[in-house]
Amino acid sequence: MSATKESSTSATGLSPEALATLRAAHLQMIQGIIGRMSGASATLKGFCITTTAAILALQGDALGGRVFWLLVLVALFAMCDAGYLRMERDFRRLYATTAKRPLSAAEDMAIERPKGHASGYIRAMVSWSVAAFYICIAAAVVLIGVLAGK
């Protein structure tokens, strides 16, 4: 086999074009996971608003001491949303790592979520996309609870 032929194929005999196609497919799979995490987060936010509004509408003036439990529900939604954001960030990191790998490693199409630290969850919880949204919902619940009590 000539030196030219050897340099134009990988160790398993794949051409650079085939390796590039594998890399693009791998990145698309990871991007699909990132998209699902993002979509789940948006759906969760919508469900939180709908559920909170429905409870407030049904309870109305009788909300009283139940404001605490409604705030607990909002906090649970926030914790789930932070989990989605943390996973999304982990997969974005995997995407960047995969994109930087040499093309010769394109045949390894493993998708394993990088192991993050607990600080990643905390950073997700206090991010503007989680904390700001759910603090506004919680503030609205408290305001409505106070106004309903008068």
Q: What length is written for the chain? A: 150
Domain locations in the chain as residue ranges: 14-149
Residue 40 has pLDDT above 90, yes or no: yes
The owner of tokens 């439990």 is 69
Contacts of 112 (CB under 8 A, 6+ apart): 94
Confidence (pLDDT) at 1? 41
Structure tokens at 49: 């608003």
Q: How far apart are CA 23 and CA 10, in angstroms?
A: 13
Residue type present at position 32: G
pTM of the model: 0.81
Confidence (pLDDT) at 61? 65
